[in-house]
Amino acid sequence: MSKPSIPKGTRDFGPKEMVKRNYIFDAISTVFQKYGYRSIETPAMEKTETLLGKYGEEGDRLIFKILKRGASLEKDLQKSKNGKKATYAEEALRYDLTVPFARYVVQNQNDISFPFKRYQIQPVWRADRPQKGRYREFYQCDVDVIGSNSLLNEVELVQIMDEVLGKLNINAKIKLNNRKILAGIAEVIGESDRMIDITVALDKFDKVGQVGVINELNEKGISSKAITKLEPIFDFAGTNEFKLEKLEVLIGTTDIGRKGIDEVQSILKNLIACNIKPDSIELDITLARGLNYYTGAIFEVVCDDFPSSICGGGRYDDLTGIFGLKDISGVGISFGADRIYDVMDDQNLFPQNIETILDVLFVNFGEKEALYCLGLLAQLRANEISSELYPDSAKMKKQMKYANEKGARKVVMVGETEIANGILTVKDMETGEQASLTIEQLIHSCVV
């Protein structure tokens, strides 16, 4: 029999990875909660009609669908034999957390009190070609507020990004832009109706550079006159204030551009009131973000030496419109837990000893000694000290190897002598020192 394996693009997470992953999830959700966001969860499966058509043609192809069963499947297969169209699926695995969230809001609109601040940390599935850092199952950590137009929400989300990065010790830059600024630019170059093409091309600036973007714009049929007018945006250097002044000149006369500039100014001003360091946020007018539903502020968090962004999002004015609930504005961001994990692992940012989660291991010297240790263990556990007794009276070497691999902080040996004297021989696994302690002393040394 060949060794079993898992589907390509998926992963098992062992104990050491899980501790690190949970460290990230805990940090993120603690910050979300502190800012007044509350958790929801939606099912892994949505109805196919909820998901299809929401992510473009390419997206539709990447959605994992659930095979129909029994008579329902038979019927579809019969249809297909007769040359008719069949779907073979009524449910599909969620592709992101945004569309299920929009569906949730519309479905529960009468029970939700707006503004609704929710976060959601769950896996999503995409039948993408697996490659380094790209998986078919991965976690998203989304935080959104829906039902409020206030720019204070944007401010709060930047604070959240800043605080999560600080908490995880990640050195990264928060990039900010505004779709209205991009619309202003499209207007002054005379290509307002080509906003999407311009956005899609600009979105690749980080990867393909100025020449690449210009080539794509050419291919899309944007006039060379317009492209020439666009060029100043590629070397917009300097402070945020300086950039805003330049934008003022470039697009300050367009209504939409004016609005974009005002929004960015308001967000930056309010961020100063929140004690955010001014240089941790950068206005980047080439930041475009691929998704079409953004209408205002857009965000992205990028680390040095790491190719992809670890967080991104923005303001959307009509996300729930796809399910029939119009004119509800929202803004949100999504942290990519898997990418954050990779950055932190690469740069050694996890706390030392994070994998050590066992305080005390009792060596098993045999049935009588084990029975005696059970009572001691109960005392340790009553004090919330993680501890265990090796279940078999195996060779000492084997038991010590187990203690090592599990990262036990202390190993306790209780043989006949110890039982007679009511003391414990305790080895500190970090220093290697051995001491004779009472159970009270052991408890004290673990709790401190």
Write out the binding residues for a second copy, residues 81-100 only, by CB under 8 A: 81, 88-91, 93
Please tell me whether residue 368 binds a second copy under the rule CB under 8 A. no
Which tokens sit at 166?
């600080």
Write out the binding residues for a second copy, residues 185-244 only, by CB under 8 A: none
The total of other beta-carbon atoms located within 10 Å of residue 102's CB is 25
Half-sphere exposure of 119 (CA within 13 A, CB side): 23
Collapsed DSSP state (helix, strand, coil) of residue 262: helix
90-to-128, 200, 316, 345, 373 alpha-carbon distances in Å: 21, 32, 29, 40, 56
Q: How far apart are CA 315 and CA 372, in angstroms?
A: 63
Kindly report the backbone phi and psi dihedral angles of residue 335, in degrees, each rounded to the nearest multiple of 5, phi listed first.
Answer: -90, 135
- Nearest approach in angstroms of CB 177 to a second copy is 21
Among 23, 25, 28, 50, binds a second copy (CB under 8 A): 50
Say how far residue 388 (Cα) sits from the centre of its chain.
Answer: 34
- Our finding on whether 40 is near a second copy (CB under 8 A) is yes
Contact between 374 and a second copy by CB under 8 A: the answer reads yes
Concatenated DSSP letters for 287-309?
A: ---S-TTEEEEEEEEEETT-SS-
Minimum distance of a second copy from residue 8's CB (angstroms): 10
Q: In angstroms, rounded to a whole number, what is the distance separating the alpha carbons of residues 414 and 213?
A: 71
137 and 11 in contact (C-beta within 8 Å)? yes
- What letter represents residue 391's amino acid? P
Residue 215 is inside which H or E element, if any? helix 205-219
Nearest residue (CB) to a second copy, 40 versus 226: 40
Contact between 174 and a second copy per CB under 8 A: no
CA-CA distance, 326 to 106, in Å (whole number)? 10
d(CA 248, CA 244): 6
Selected binder of a second copy within 42, 210, 280, 445 (CB under 8 A): 42
CB of 68 to a second copy, least distance (A): 8
In angstroms, give the least distance from the CB of 444 to a second copy.
18
Task: Give the one residue of 58, 113, 237, 305 binding a second copy; rule: CB under 8 A.
Answer: 113
**C-beta atoms surrounding 424 within 10 Å:** 22
If one asks whether residue 169 binds a second copy (CB under 8 A), the answer comes out as no
Stretch near a second copy under the rule CB under 8 A, chosen from 201-209, 217-225, 288-296, 389-397: 389-397
> Which residues share a beta bridge with 436?
425
Kindly state the DSSP code that residue 407 receives in the 8-state scheme: T
Among 52, 173, 406, 437, the residue binding a second copy under the rule CB under 8 A is 406
Q: What are phi and psi of 343, to 5 degrees?
A: -60, -45
Q: Which residue number, 40 or 200, has a Cβ lying nearer to a second copy?
A: 40
* DSSP 8-state secondary structure symbol assigned to residue 114: S
437, 424 contact by CB (below 8 A): yes
Q: Which of 371, 396, 421, 434 binds a second copy (CB under 8 A)?
A: 371
Least distance from a second copy to the Cβ atom of residue 125, Å: 7
Sequence-ordered strand ranges (E) for 354-422: 360-362, 387-389, 410-413
Q: According to CB under 8 A, which one of 57, 58, 111, 193 is a site residue for a second copy?
A: 111
User: 27, 54, 55, 103: which one contacts a second copy (CB under 8 A)?
Assistant: 103
Considering only the stretches 9-17, 176-184, 214-222, 299-307, report the one whose residues sit in contact with a second copy under the rule CB under 8 A: 9-17
Taking the complex as a whole, the smallest distance from the CB of residue 353 to a second copy amounts, in Å, to 15
Q: Is 344 in the site for a second copy (CB under 8 A)?
A: no
Q: Does 431 bind a second copy (CB under 8 A)?
A: no
Among 103-111, 209-217, 283-291, 439-447, which window interacts with a second copy (CB under 8 A)? 103-111
Interface residue with a second copy, options 351, 375, 422, 432 (CB under 8 A) = 375
Give CA 70 to chain center in angstroms.
Answer: 38
- 293 lines the binding site for a second copy (CB under 8 A): no
Taking the least distance from each CB to a second copy, the nearer of 129 and 207 is 129
- Touching a second copy, residues 254-283 (CB under 8 A): 269-270, 273-275
354 touches a second copy (CB under 8 A): no
Q: Which is nearer to a second copy, 156 or 300 (CB)?
A: 156
